[in-house]
Amino acid sequence: MKRIQLPLTKEVIQTLRIGEKVYLNGPMFTGRDAAHRRLVETLERGEKLPIPINGITIFYVGPSPARPGQIIGSAGPTTSYRMDDYTPRLLEEGLLGMIGKGRRSSFVRQAIREHGAVYFAALGGAGALAAQAIVSAKVVAYPDLGAEAIHALEVKDFPVVVAVDATGASVYEREEKTHV
């Protein structure tokens, strides 16, 4: 498996292909639909975002509370299409990486291609396992959203699969074609 240092660069993204397994290392943010809605509304008002968007990776997760002695609770990915209405606008601002589970809409795949970004799939149903790759977590925006607040994470060998690469190709579309 390939190891990638975050934050992502367009040069690294261009080397990734659908179906490729990679380990991510470094800083990323969390965000689900409520946080995405607020981020886009903030941009529409012409205000400054509470986190830097340019070059970052967002993990679609609402982690459960940490138990005593843990950094974070279970951190399984959220279904990504819930962020599809907001994703193109954030890609315009420089978002480069997204992590979630499931398909992305055709307009999001097109926006990924236009902006040279990448969408990774994380293993659904294995939130406790994913949490083991998170070495630090801190709420940095929208604390009133509880588990859906934006967290700054640091990850080490966080396992993902390239689900949509910078060409807009989707592992889900490929799988569909091979099973027809």
Active site residues: 36
Q: What CA–CA distance (Å, rounded) separates 180 from 177?
A: 5
CA nearest neighbour of 60 among 132, 135, 130, 157: 130
Distance CA 71, CA 69 (A): 7
Residue 180: CB atoms within 10 Å: 5
**What are the residues whose beta carbons fall under 8 Å from the beta carbon of 71, sequence distance 6 or more?**
131, 134, 135, 136, 137
Q: Which two tokens stand for residue 156?
A: 């080490």
All residues at 6 or more sequence positions from 114 whose CB lies less than 8 Å from its CB, including other chains:
91
Q: Distance (Å, rounded) from C-alpha 69 to C-alpha 58?
A: 25
The dihedrals phi and psi of 137, each to the nearest 5 degrees, come to -150, 135
